[in-house]
Structure 1
Amino acid sequence: MRLTEPVTLGPRTAPSRVVFGPHETNLARGRALSDRHVAYYARRAAGGAGLIVTETASVHPSDWPYERAPLAADCGPGWAATAAACAPHGALVVASLGHSGSQGSSAYHQSALWAPSRVADVVSRELPMELEEPELDALRAGFADAARIAAASGLDGVEIEAGQHSLLRQFLSGLTNQRQDAYGTDRALLLRQVLAAVRAGIGAGRLLGLRLSCDELAPWAGITPAHAEELARELAPLLDYLVVVRGSAMAVSATRPDFHTPAGFNTELCAAVRAAVDGRVPVVLQGSVTDPARAEDALTGGTADLVEMTRAQIAAPELVALVRSGHPERVRPCVLCNQKCRVRDNRNPVVSCAVDPRSGHETEDPPDFPRGRPVAGAAAERRTDAPGRPDDVPPGTSGSGEPDAVLVVGGGPAGLEAARVLAAHGRRVELVERAGRLGGMLRVAGGRWSPLLDWLEAEVRRLGVTVRTATAAGEAELTGRRVVLATGSRPGPRRYDIDGGTVLEAADVLAGRAEVPDGPVLVDDPVGDATGVAVAELLAARGTAVLFVTQDPVAGTQLALTGDLADAHGRLVRAGVTLLRRTVLRSVLADAALVEDVLTGEQRKVGCAAVVHCGHRLPDTELSGPDGAVHAGDRVAPRTVHEALLEGRRAALALCGADGGGAR
């Protein structure tokens, strides 16, 4: 496959055509790259990534866009450690350098934001200062100094950020650059000056890449594909590679949308830019490319010369190695949920992955190998293509010759992950599930989660786990055994009265187990996550009239964390869903529901044939289990897929640690 072939980028050669692009991680210590960064990038290098671009570092102290944003002046030791850790695997490592300008934050440095013109940011509404020549001099010097630090640290080069969150993009765009001087009449002038300064800073023999917004999705004044093609032709001789992205402050979710946006959404844009540069510079496709087959098609079809697969490698760091070894089916799928890899919010979470909870936690969470094998270091990370159980660990033993069997009760995501990790550590595992299929509540959600369930099931079977479905475990069967209880959840309490009428569970509606009346259906969403929105969209798509009740000012308020809040609201409105915001459900009646305004207390009746309950669920504790049983997932507290997988993993590692195996 071309995907796994080497590619020449200027004076360097990458071992594959797969890029691990720059993204916020919150792994920094202060504003410096940390040991967690090093382990995070090294894991992707060991997995076969060809080009690794580190988290964007601000080139000047005037830019502090989020609390743990790296500052180039502080990144030298971290860049050096990253380069050293990735070098044994051949991956090229370059530093992303940028300045977020008016899209930054003044909360940390408590100074005015920098911008080409006095145009308030459309998101923060903050009015920035207009850069004068002293600030422009400092900016150019900041890029040059950062480039010199990167080169002195042993990196293979730098990538200049002129994408969505970028002061350089703001200079390129008529949306934000309304200057009357040379930087306004020639909006690319500053970018050319920065590229020249950076090229001088890195010296000969190192890469210079550019991440360029080629469509701001604001054609009335912003950068359009036609403008980008012309600019790319002009800049191509100055570059060693070009990454084609889209988006601006006008479309913040456009760069990293979730699964509602088709994968590979930048394909046509990238192909047009690549045609415009006509082979003068390698072009990188970016935009929700998670499937190796799709990436291969982009390469063979002439769309791009390399493919950025950042979220795919957050979910499956060993992606390239598995494809290269002939096992693409073993690549853990990215489902584009954005639940844990988007970290730029007021919680300051560390980057991770809903489907691989070890991502971002490489320094404290050991790889999946049985006792007697290394649990840290490059040798362990490279061992990704061995089929089945390791040859030197006989089935039914822990690696030391002693019987070591574990029973996992529950075949949802927590139980499947616990069984997978236990088997990977050499344990003999039996998994029982009372339903006829594996998957639990994740199977109910269906759709985007099906590839993950298929992968989990395939892995537990590959590792030799004995799987029994349509089997209800009894207390007697659990006695005297090492047990993981992952028995899932049951419907939770109602916060309203039911005086006649029909109330359906969201899980039953999503699974197709409930008979939904034709008349208006009220979707009650006290949680504000993806469930209520998904139910409303499903029913509206069937032609059902839907009333959506939420206590919040906006539907699906928790979707702000995944970047889908505005888009979800738009989808509901376009689908004809009636939104009853700042409203709570008080009573379900025979043909109506009594709702109450949370601000005024005013109550009124709305007609509906049924109510769909989208509230919290409770742990299913019908099976108590033996003393010492380890609980995981919804059995502990029903939450998201990430918590289910994380606790399944932790349960497995706890049992491994109890008899001398590796544990977190």
Structure 2
Amino acid sequence: MALTEGIGIGTSRAPSRVLFGPHETNLARERDISDRHVAYYAARAAGGAGVLVTETASVHDSDRPYERAPLARDCGPGWAAVAEACRPHGTVVLAGLGHSGSQGSSAFSQRALWAPSRVPDVASRELPMEMDQRHVDALVAGFGAGAEAAMRSGLHGVEVQAGQFSLVRQFLSGLTNQRGDEYGSDRTRLLREVLAAVREAAGTGIVGLRLSCDELAPWAGITPEAAPEIVEAAVEWIDYLVVVRGSAMGASATHPDLHTEPGFNIDLCRDVRAAVAGRVPVVLQGSVVDPDQAQRVLDDGAADLVEMTRAQIAEPDLVALLRAGERERIRPCVLCNQKCRVRDNRNPLVSCVANPVAGHETEEPPMIGLPDSRSPAEADPVLVVGGGPAGMEAARVLASQGRPVELVERADRLGGMASRAAEVGGRGRLRELVDWQSAELRRLGVRVRLGVEAGENDLTDREVLVATGSAPGPRSYEIRGGTVLDVTELLDGAETADPVLVFDPVGDAVGVGIAELLAGRGSATAIVTQDQVVGTQLAITGDLADANARLQRAGVALQKRSLLREVHADHVVLEDVFTAERREVPAATVVHCGHRLPDTSLPAERRAGDNVAPRTVHEAILEGRRAAQRMSVPVGGPR
């Protein structure tokens, strides 16, 4: 069975075996499914998604886990618009339904959190209320009402959430269900009641179940050994099953970042599928972003469908490109979680470092071909100076409109700081994005010259975009001796003497990754941060706890709540941020991982990426794209 082949699910038929799963987007205007959702989902349906599950909607107003979390009773018109937009493509469209229970938030509702028992949530530490029968009845009724509304809206059915953030899962688990009534003695009872209500409301529509089959807490939680019994209690009401892992005990487990190898649930999914014994299709979820791996999963019989959510955020046309035999054109997902993981208090819209159009489909300006209807041969040539992510994206967009483009890069390879970042501990997948951009430039006929230093004389007689990246920033400490290396110098092969101290005033993946890299080489390594924990920005990507654990396992000394004040030949002076007390720490080499500044050595009217303000690869690609769009006349544009 091919990934691009159709499959029957319940009374419907999906056009491919690729599922676009439910995930937080913050695309709602209030608590609805908005026009932004519609455009976002329609793009993935047009690209060949076989099954599409909308963002999980709360089935009761007691649940508002984040500010823009959809509420099922408000989603009817939005669901109908999604159904209408996706219908021409044949995609099976389902409404995600759930309740976060004790993993929710009382910040918006100002009400006690619902839970099976009074067990504080391990993340928020908030103590929930214990539900009585009235609350259970209201919950079950809410699931039924949500399913009925979804069917009235023209959707094919619903998917019930019993995965990581789920009250239903909390009733299934000994970690959170310590009740003395029937819901405690038979922990599958609520699941059966919910599914029965949903099945009755959905009629002949599809009922799917997203189930955590491993809470990664074997002392009391749902285990792989216990999962088949739960599945057996549910299978008579469902039309498909999505096998996931995770709970409050492992917040990063369900959608981990690039430090976790894709396909981590394959063995678990295979075992559950064997227990299902062909009664319903089984879906693998597990950071699968490579179509070849997805196909192997199907060939090996581990699953009937594969969820490729992040892969389709990065590349909406994933299935369509596979069908067209253009596998190499699929924009890669690097699993960095920087822009697609949005369940935090900043309320960012979902997007993608590789594809900044994702989540912003309603705002993307249309691209219109060439000015004055000229042929590509007659179009004005463009020079792009700098072959990092910004420069390559600008060149790609311009060339896709037919503009003749020349890109010059002073280094002997493309990629800029993204290539450097790929060398840092655990971040090698970033190389895939650089390789894809490079391949696109070749396909589009961009003339690329490496090892070329552009001067002011090169910036005449044609349109120019400067994307020459960044330079080391200022130092906020005195250097009275010793060796201080910029992070780029270290990655270029500069030698270090032990002990090495990594100065990380930013708190992102760079400082942590460099410390891991050095420790992996056997260097005595310490990392200095002014924060209470190392790598605070990694909370955004879900890697904060895991990163600190990796550092400690590697033997890296964590110098927290400290500022670097002086560097000497054999030591540094650190200052406590609270007490201002100073102390000496041995160090022969300091690696500086601070903010960088734009490289402004070339005059330019048009700049992009780090040449404007050094930030992440997302901003570089986004600004490269925008700069290219401003250099052309906008209708139909690059993918």
TM-score interval, normalised by the smaller of the two chains? over 0.9
* Residue in structure 1 matching 2:445, options 460, 464, 483: 464
User: Partners in 1 of 2:382 and 2:371 — Cα distance?
Assistant: 19
Query: What is the identity, as a one-letter code, of the residue corresponding to 1:229?
Result: P
What's the CA shift for 1:662?
6.9
CA offsets, 1:528-570, max 9 Å, x none? 1110001000000011110111100110010001000000000
Change beyond 3 A, Cα 1:200–1:371: farther
Query: What is the identity, as a one-letter code, of the residue corresponding to 1:69?
Result: A
CA offsets, 1:367-392, max 9 Å, x none? 6673599xxxxxxxxxxxxxxxxxx9
Correspondences of 1:121-136 after superposition (within 5 Å): 121-136=121-136
What's the CA shift for 1:474?
1.4
User: Partners in 2 of 1:533 and 1:589 — Cα distance?
Assistant: 23
SS in 2 for 1:248: coil
What's the CA shift for 1:472?
1.3
CA contact (8 A) 2:609 2:619 kept: yes
Query: Scaled by the length of structure 2, what TM-score is found?
Result: 0.97
Change beyond 3 A, Cα 1:311–1:17: same
CA contact (8 A) 2:199 2:207 kept: yes
User: Partners in 1 of 2:248 and 2:241 — Cα distance?
Assistant: 21
In structure 1, stretches of 5+ residues that fail to align are: 374-391, 398-402
* Aligned position for 1:243: 242
* Residue in structure 2 matching 1:591, options 570, 576, 595: 570
1:642 and 2:618 correspond: yes
User: Partners in 2 of 1:133 and 1:651 — Cα distance?
Assistant: 59
CA offsets, 1:411-452, max 9 Å, x none? 000000000011112211111111111111111112221100
1:350 and 2:370 correspond: no
CA contact (8 A) 1:527 1:614 kept: yes
Query: What is the identity, as a one-letter code, of the residue corresponding to 1:474?
Result: G
What's the CA shift for 1:237?
2.2
User: Partners in 1 of 2:366 and 2:433 — Cα distance?
Assistant: 19
User: Partners in 2 of 1:47 and 1:245 — Cα distance?
Assistant: 25
1:513 and 2:493 correspond: yes
CA contact (8 A) 2:27 2:37 kept: yes
* Aligned position for 1:144: 144
CA offsets, 1:34-84, max 9 Å, x none? 100000000000110000000000000000110000000000010000011
User: Partners in 1 of 2:451 and 2:376 — Cα distance?
Assistant: 25
User: Partners in 2 of 1:545 and 1:188 — Cα distance?
Assistant: 51
Correspondences of 1:426-575 after superposition (within 5 Å): 426-446=402-422, 447-509=428-490, 511-517=491-497, 519-575=498-554
Q: Report the identity percentage.
A: 67
Change beyond 3 A, Cα 1:347–1:312: same
Correspondences of 1:286-325 after superposition (within 5 Å): 286-325=285-324
SS in 2 for 1:211: strand
CA contact (8 A) 1:102 1:128 kept: yes
SS in 2 for 1:631: coil
What's the CA shift for 1:613?
0.4
User: Partners in 1 of 2:14 and 2:611 — Cα distance?
Assistant: 46
* Aligned position for 1:400: none
Query: What is the identity, as a one-letter code, of the residue corresponding to 1:370?
Result: G
* Aligned position for 2:599: 620
SS in 1 for 2:226: helix
* Aligned position for 1:201: 201
User: Partners in 1 of 2:368 and 2:40 — Cα distance?
Assistant: 18
* Aligned position for 2:632: 656
CA offsets, 1:166-212, max 9 Å, x none? 000000000111111111111000110110100111122x1000000
User: Partners in 2 of 1:545 and 1:663 — Cα distance?
Assistant: 48
* Aligned position for 2:338: 339
Change beyond 3 A, Cα 1:369–1:312: farther
User: Partners in 2 of 1:369 and 1:326 — Cα distance?
Assistant: 27
User: Partners in 1 of 2:541 and 2:493 — Cα distance?
Assistant: 28
Change beyond 3 A, Cα 1:490–1:470: same
1:267 and 2:247 correspond: no
* Aligned position for 1:610: 589
CA contact (8 A) 2:501 2:526 kept: yes
Change beyond 3 A, Cα 1:90–1:5: same
* Aligned position for 2:580: 601
Change beyond 3 A, Cα 1:13–1:393: farther
Change beyond 3 A, Cα 1:352–1:129: same
1:109 and 2:89 correspond: no
* Aligned position for 1:383: none
RMSD, aligned CA: 1.6
User: Partners in 2 of 1:360 and 1:406 — Cα distance?
Assistant: 29
CA contact (8 A) 1:523 1:613 kept: yes
User: Partners in 1 of 2:316 and 2:621 — Cα distance?
Assistant: 17
User: Partners in 1 of 2:638 and 2:42 — Cα distance?
Assistant: 21
In structure 2, stretches of 5+ residues that fail to align are: 423-427
Query: What is the identity, as a one-letter code, of the residue corresponding to 1:448?
Result: R
User: Partners in 1 of 2:184 and 2:40 — Cα distance?
Assistant: 41
Query: What is the identity, as a one-letter code, of the residue corresponding to 2:267?
Result: E
CA contact (8 A) 2:258 2:336 kept: yes
CA offsets, 1:346-365, max 9 Å, x none? 11000000110000000111
User: Partners in 2 of 1:231 and 1:60 — Cα distance?
Assistant: 24
CA contact (8 A) 1:492 1:616 kept: yes
* Aligned position for 2:80: 80
* Residue in structure 1 matching 2:384, options 395, 404, 408: 408
Query: What is the identity, as a one-letter code, of the residue corresponding to 1:514?
Result: A
CA contact (8 A) 2:367 2:635 kept: no
CA offsets, 1:303-324, max 9 Å, x none? 0000000000000111111111
CA offsets, 1:511-537, max 9 Å, x none? 2421122x2100000111110001000
CA contact (8 A) 1:73 1:149 kept: yes
User: Partners in 2 of 1:367 and 1:333 — Cα distance?
Assistant: 23
Query: What is the identity, as a one-letter code, of the residue corresponding to 1:565?
Result: L
What's the CA shift for 1:137?
1.2
User: Partners in 2 of 1:148 and 1:235 — Cα distance?
Assistant: 20
CA contact (8 A) 1:371 1:662 kept: no
CA contact (8 A) 1:144 1:201 kept: yes
User: Partners in 1 of 2:401 and 2:35 — Cα distance?
Assistant: 26
SS in 2 for 1:254: coil
Count of aligned pairs: 634
What's the CA shift for 1:599?
1.0
User: Partners in 1 of 2:638 and 2:629 — Cα distance?
Assistant: 5
User: Partners in 1 of 2:368 and 2:290 — Cα distance?
Assistant: 26
CA contact (8 A) 1:654 1:663 kept: no
User: Partners in 2 of 1:637 and 1:107 — Cα distance?
Assistant: 35
What's the CA shift for 1:406?
1.2
* Aligned position for 1:378: none
What's the CA shift for 1:134?
1.1
* Aligned position for 2:425: none
What's the CA shift for 1:508?
2.2
Change beyond 3 A, Cα 1:582–1:356: same
CA contact (8 A) 1:368 1:421 kept: no
Query: Scaled by the length of structure 1, what TM-score is found?
Result: 0.94
User: Partners in 1 of 2:86 and 2:326 — Cα distance?
Assistant: 23
